[in-house]
Structure 1
Amino acid sequence: MTTSTSPDGRKSRRHAPLRVADPGELFAAVPALLGFPPERSLVLVCLHGPRNSRLGGVMRHDLVLPRSADGGVTPVMDAAIDRFASVCGREGVRAAVALIVDDTADHEDEEYSAACVAVVEQLAEQLHAFGTALDGAYIVEEIDEGAPWSSLWGDFRFGVLPDPAASSVAAAHVMEGRQIRRSRGELVDMLAPGDSRERFLVARAVAAGVHSAVLAVDLAEAREDPDDRSRRQLEHVLWQISNLASGERLLAPEIAELWFAVANLDVRDALLALAAGDQAEAAEQLWLRMAKLLPANGRAEAAALLGFSAYVRGEGPYAGVALTAALQANPKHRLAGMLDAALQNGMRPHTLQKLVDAGYAAARRLGVTLPPPAL
């Protein structure tokens, strides 16, 4: 699955553009840019500025090479390259650098080297068709201090990586409060289903509350103020976000009640606006908790909210993992599907502003005041 991140997330706009001086420094910055050190991956780093020294977006895809020398570029890599190139074309990227990270790399194996070069040459050709120059392509077994890197295509340089944790880019991201995970697998594990006993209790509470929830909908529609139920549900979710942030532990019946609230699209739409405010991280903790404990449909709704919030903040890889979890739980989830398509196509976080604005409008219709957007 392709993951991407753009440099224009809400927090990153507060800081000066990030710059690097040489390939080793660039590669050491990749874990901070992606949020994790990639493994067995093709990574494309977009460059900007007069000397192509300013970092732009970063895209990553699992590296899938052919099993034989005459296999050419695999269909999986062909599709990934097309997507990389189309994103660069749409964003007006003038130059980029490619990096292959592969701990199974065998530099003495001519078939392996030929397969890597074939990927890079096709990438260069596709990028050129969209007006982007591939400034270089390099290979490294792992992104770690002291790991040797070398050129695959273009210039012919080599060196060793500096400490990724000490890079200027890592420092800037830490200052922004972003976490750098040990691997992409760690991100996936964060969304793994929670304790089986807790999930059983939550599922039982959901099943017990279904009849009451349906009755509540019918009663709300019959009242003079049909928005009263949605208003109370939204206020309850906001209250529980504050509770969780203060260290309170949510019980199974409370999580079930929250699921019935976010299943109400009027409430769900209003909650999207929280991604732009100071309560974004607190809300994400609730969405994560719900995604880990709720049955399929509830997991999908909570994971979609989590993915949206991460996307708005510019955390593309985290958003991708959350949206994948949402679609695995419910392949027909419309919001998750739309967001996943946008992320896969490299749409920048600011393109989601309309959904944030719609969230504030939905809350106003219900008579609820949400925290203002963060500056």
Structure 2
Amino acid sequence: MTTATSSTQPIQTPGQLIANLPALLGFYPEDSLVLIGFTATGPRSSRFTLGPVLRIDLDDLGVLPEIADHLDRHKLDLVFGFLITGRDDEDLELIVDELFAVAEVGLIDISSCWAVRRVLTGEPFALVFGPDIPEPEWSSGVVAPVTQAEAMAPFLVQGELPDLTRDEHLDHVARYNPTFEESEIDVLARFAHSYAAELQTSPGTVRDVILDFRHILAEIADQETSVEELMADEEVLVATATILAGIELRDAAMGDVLDHAPPAARLMLAVARTFGGTIRCNALCLYALAAIGIEMSVRAMPALMASAAEKEDHSLTHLMIGPCQAGAYSTLLYALHEGSRMVRDRYGLYRRAE
């Protein structure tokens, strides 16, 4: 199951909704049911705001009761379903019957459901169940241009595109840095942990380290340094790993990550791909925050899932997962901004660059 929450400009047809799915999910769904929830903008309004977007493997529809509980918490006014599959007509009919039964008993009140073989510009789609709709473009049509979808804009700003598959989407934060041998990374990590422990006993030194971190972010932004280039820069990797090896240092640096999200996202991803353990977990958490800051929230949950897999007891990961699953990004960012501010105040730092 994959969840995401976003908002877009007004969408007029199912073909436009389907075109937005790769950017809303972060990858192109295949053999999937995608449910999209909406909330009315007013008591008598015919306009709706996009809410949760959930993807379920067609072989895993047994989770629908769990999905129903999740959707109920959002107090939705409308739910659409999209079947993206190349299965034959007989298999598709069985799936449609199951979903229709789910809607009929009120488990998930799916207003309308469409089927499309794949999310591709110009691919035909058709309504498989739902009310009689007078507008023909809501009964059948073709997928709108995917690269022009409203939700694609943040990807294009970052020079990226949604991943082709879910596995690629999850592999985006996988640990892999071909520049260094594992033994070299272990040495660098031990140094980072040792130096972090030493630094945190000296408030004045902590302040200097965070100011240096601010300069690193500024240089990354000015030079448009790529993730791959950062993965090869031992000095920057070690300096950042040192900050991420200590809780106080991490929390003090968090303010700059939030305030300078574009370069911070690249730096934290480079560190997360390089190191393991606590350093990787903290890098993944701060990468998730930076991704939210650049409107790439679809990258946040895979990062947090990878962090939880790295260390089950990592507290910041568990603090962030709940709000991210609920789409409460602004609340999460505000809370962590304030937490970082309190730490920075102790060290005579300001949250924003002077």
Partner in structure 2 of residue 206 of structure 1: 189
Measure how far apart 1:327 and its partner are. Answer: 1.1
Cα distance change on mapping 1:55 and 1:176 into 2, 3 Å = farther
Q: Deviations over 1:124-182 (max 9, x none)?
A: x2455xxxxx4312222211122222223213622222222234x25755676584313
Aligned residue pairs total 336
Cα distance change on mapping 1:41 and 1:345 into 2, 3 Å = farther
Percent identical residues = 21
Amino acid at match of 2:120: D
CA distance in 2, matches of 1:275, 1:152: 46
Question: Which of residues 184, 199, 211 is equivalent to 1:235?
Answer: 211
Cα distance change on mapping 1:240 and 1:175 into 2, 3 Å = closer
Counterparts of 1:195-344 in structure 2 under 5 Å?
A: 195-200=177-182, 201-208=184-191, 210-214=193-197, 216=198, 221=201, 226-245=202-221, 246=223, 247=225, 249=230, 251-252=233-234, 254-277=236-259, 279-344=260-325
Partner in structure 1 of residue 28 of structure 2: 37
In the alignment, is the contact (CA less than 8 A) between 1:363 and 1:369 conserved in 2? yes
Greater mean alpha carbon deviation, residues 93-102 or residues 177-186 = 177-186
Partner in structure 2 of residue 59 of structure 1: 53
In the alignment, is the contact (CA less than 8 A) between 1:35 and 1:179 conserved in 2? no
Partner in structure 1 of residue 135 of structure 2: none
CA distance in 1, matches of 2:273, 2:217: 16
In the alignment, is the contact (CA less than 8 A) between 2:281 and 2:311 conserved in 1? yes
Measure how far apart 1:333 and its partner are. Answer: 0.9
1:106 and 2:82 matched: no
Question: Which of residues 171, 175, 181 is equivalent to 1:193?
Answer: 175
CA distance in 1, matches of 2:195, 2:327: 42
CA distance in 2, matches of 1:144, 1:347: 30
Measure how far apart 1:292 and its partner are. Answer: 0.3
Taking structure 2 as the reference length, the TM-score comes to: 0.82
CA distance in 1, matches of 2:336, 2:234: 30
Amino acid at match of 1:363: R
Partner in structure 1 of residue 11 of structure 2: 20
Give the match's secondary structure for 2:114.
strand
Q: Deviations over 1:253-283 (max 9, x none)?
A: 5423422222222221233333542x21101
In the alignment, is the contact (CA less than 8 A) between 2:26 and 2:169 conserved in 1? no
Partner in structure 2 of residue 10 of structure 1: none
CA distance in 2, matches of 1:121, 1:275: 47
Q: Which runs of 5+ in 2 are unaligned?
A: 133-138
Cα distance change on mapping 1:52 and 1:291 into 2, 3 Å = farther
CA distance in 2, matches of 1:213, 1:26: 48
Partner in structure 2 of residue 13 of structure 1: none
Cα distance change on mapping 1:288 and 1:199 into 2, 3 Å = farther
Taking structure 1 as the reference length, the TM-score comes to: 0.78
Q: Which runs of 5+ in 1 are unaligned?
A: 8-16, 67-72, 129-133
Amino acid at match of 2:254: L
Give the match's secondary structure for 1:65.
helix
In the alignment, is the contact (CA less than 8 A) between 1:292 and 1:299 conserved in 2? yes
Amino acid at match of 1:260: T
Partner in structure 2 of residue 3 of structure 1: 3
CA distance in 1, matches of 2:78, 2:129: 15
1:162 and 2:144 matched: yes
CA distance in 2, matches of 1:262, 1:211: 12
Cα distance change on mapping 1:139 and 1:366 into 2, 3 Å = same
CA distance in 1, matches of 2:159, 2:98: 35
Aligned alpha-carbon RMSD (Å): 3.0
In the alignment, is the contact (CA less than 8 A) between 2:288 and 2:299 conserved in 1? yes
In the alignment, is the contact (CA less than 8 A) between 1:276 and 1:312 conserved in 2? yes
1:137 and 2:96 matched: no
In the alignment, is the contact (CA less than 8 A) between 1:45 and 1:55 conserved in 2? no
